[in-house]
Structure formats: structure tokens, C-alpha cells
Amino acid sequence: MFQKLLIALIGLTMLLVACAPATTTPAPVYTESPATLEPTLTEIPTSAPINLTDGLGRTVELAGPAQRIVSLTPATTEILFAVGAGAQVVGRDMFSDFPPEALDVADIGGSWGEYNTEAIISLSPDLVIAGGINPPELVASLEGLGLSVYFLSNPNTLEELYTKIEIIGTLTGKESAASDLVTSLDDRTKAIDASLAGVTKKPMVYYELDSTPYTAGPGTFVDLLIARAGGTNFGAGMDSAWAQISLEQLLLADPAIIVLGDSAYGETADTLAARPGWNALTAVKDQQIFIFDDNLASRPGPRLVDGLEALAHLIHPEVFK
């Protein structure tokens, strides 16, 4: 009898256990460091496409800011480095020598307009920037090789230069730095304008490009800077931008100031004064002959403002005492 009762109790216990609700253990929550998670499509950094019309009226399209740039002119190279895009420059023309760091960049030629296209292609650029000294035919030939080329036309004023700088800022993703640079350059230019606002005398300035002699005429940066610096460019009345002149023309105009843009080739106040007949010029008599870095007046980059400041101080030292 006891045995039967024990068996019945055991069976009842098993039945109760089977019918009781199951106890649920919380599943472990798997957490992963954010650094190891795969980013979603919205988390992947993206750059907006760039669509700009260049100086030749061509629409240039980039998927984003250029990261491998070849510069074909010294001016564009200087702008690229000035806006902080120097590390993105993988190739530059042989004449790009400023800033000094530019010399560490691969040289792709450029003598007499001849560039090493094989070297350019080997650099795998995502953008080639041409400038005003490059003919449209060069742009077309590079484009025919499958390269993206932006033609940056020369500015006619300092204010147009600022726009060119902002364009380079957009092409390279350096918009903020380009804007800061433009603000700084514009402030310096306006300071010169303000200093010269009351000046009425505009001394005649002969700017020498070559001792044969050659000078700069209308439409040149030299002409632009001399006029803005409070002077009168001897070559302003020439029929062309670059002209060979005679001593007779100089004697007739009798410039008060001579600026030697060819000083890099050894010309000095002494060599000029030693030329036959040149000692009759007022600038020579008054010892108003100055050496000058022609790059500050020939390259349409940020250093044009350096050139403006330097010329203003030469032409009107009384204002900047």
C-alpha cells in the first residue's frame, strides 16, 4: 500500500513540473565597439560633386575635391600652396619655384610650352590645372588623354584674382582657407588704396623686362600694379602688352623712377647707368633705380599684392615713412 502511494506522489510531482510555466533566462545582449561597426550609408563620409565652368567656357565635373593635382603654371602652384592644398599637388611645371616646398613636387616640364605628358599620366592626377599661359590646344590634348583639366584664366584686376583663388579653394576642398586668404589680401590692398587716396602726383615709372630694352605695356600686371601703386607706367601708351623701346623714347618721357624687373639676370643700377646715353635720364641722375623681383608682377597669384605693396613704397616713399 505504501509503495503504491509513493509511486502516485512521484507521478503527481512529475506532472506538476511538466505543466508549470518555463522559467525564461534573458538572452545575453551582444554589444560591439562603435569603432568596429560597419558604417551605414548615411555614416560614410561623402563629398558633394563639383561642377564649375572654366575660363574656356568648359564645364569641369569632379566627384569631389581633387586629391592628386598637376599644376601647369607657377601662378596656380602658388595659389594651391597658399590655400593649403600643397600636399595635394603631385606634379608641377618646371618654373614653379615658390614656395620652396614646391620644388619637392615632381617636375613635368614646361619649357617652351612642352610638357611631359607621359610623366603627367604616370602621376594619376584627378585634376590638371592649366593657366593663362597655356593655349587651349594643350587643354584639349590633355583632355583627349582622359584627364580632367580646369583652365584658370588670368585675372584683369586684383579683385578678379580673389575670385580665382576662391575657385581653387572649391576645386581642392579648401574653401575656408581660400576665403581667409582673400580677406587678408583684400585688406592689404585696401590699406594701400587708403594710404594713396590723397596722392595727386603720379610719377612716370619705367619698368624694364629686358635690357635690350623691353617694357610692359597696357593690359599687363605690371601696368595694373604701377597704376594702383600711384604711378604712371611708361609703357601704358604702347600698342602691345610687351614692346621693345628706344632710348629716344625714354629720353622724351624722362621717367622719374626705373624699376629693374630684369634684376634676376644681373641688371643693376650701375649696369644701367653705364649704358651709353642713359645717364641723361632723370631717374639715373636722382639715383631712383630699383631692383625688383619680377615674379611679384608677372605671376597672377597671391604675391601680386606683395608686388603692389613694394611698388607703392618705391613710388611714394613719402607716404610710407
The yes-or-no verdict on residue 283 having pLDDT over 50 is yes
CA 237, CA 279: separation in Å to the nearest integer? Answer: 24
> What pLDDT score was predicted for residue 221?
97
> What pLDDT score was predicted for residue 161?
98
The yes-or-no verdict on residue 2 having pLDDT over 80 is no
The yes-or-no verdict on residue 26 having pLDDT over 50 is no
Q: Domain 198-315's class?
A: alpha beta
Q: For residue 76, name the pLDDT band (cuts at 50, 70, 90).
A: very high
Residue found by looking up cell 623714347 in the block: 249
Q: 51-192 is classed in which CATH architecture? A: 3-Layer(aba) Sandwich (3.40)
What is the residue-wise DSSP string for 50-99? EEEE-TTS-EEEESSS-SSEEE-SHHHHHHHHHTT-GGGEEEE-TT---S
Residues 6+ apart with CB under 8 A from 174: 65, 83, 84, 85, 168
> What pLDDT score was predicted for residue 46?
52
Strands 204-210 and 214-216: antiparallel
Long-range contacts of 95-101 (CB under 8 A, 24+ apart): 96/71, 98/74, 98/295, 98/303
Mean of pLDDT values over 210-235: 97
Compare 279 and 1 and report the one with higher pLDDT.
279
> What pLDDT score was predicted for residue 321?
85
Mean of pLDDT values over 158-173: 98
Mean of pLDDT values over 224-234: 98
Average pLDDT, the chain: 89
> What pLDDT score was predicted for residue 47?
74
Mean of pLDDT values over 254-270: 98
215 phi and psi angles, rounded to 5 deg: -140, 175
Strands 257-260 and 232-233: unpaired
The yes-or-no verdict on residue 16 having pLDDT over 70 is no
Long-range contacts of 240-246 (CB under 8 A, 24+ apart): 241/216, 241/217, 242/209, 242/214, 242/215, 242/216, 242/217, 243/214, 243/215, 243/217, 244/212, 244/213, 244/214, 245/213, 245/214, 245/215
The yes-or-no verdict on residue 4 having pLDDT over 60 is no
C-alpha cell of residue 44: 560614410
CB 255 within 8 A of CB 206: yes
Q: For residue 241, name the pLDDT band (cuts at 50, 70, 90).
A: very high
pLDDT digit string, tens, across residues 77-107: 999 999 999 999 999 999 999 999 999 999 9
Mean of pLDDT values over 227-233: 98
Q: Which residue spans of the chain are classified as CATH 3.40.50.1980?
A: 51-192, 198-315
Q: How many CA atoms lie within 13 A of 304 on its CB side?
A: 33
pLDDT digit string, tens, across residues 52-72: 999 999 999 999 999 999 999
Q: For residue 29, name the pLDDT band (cuts at 50, 70, 90).
A: very low
pLDDT digit string, tens, across residues 110-144: 998 999 999 999 999 999 999 999 999 999 999 99
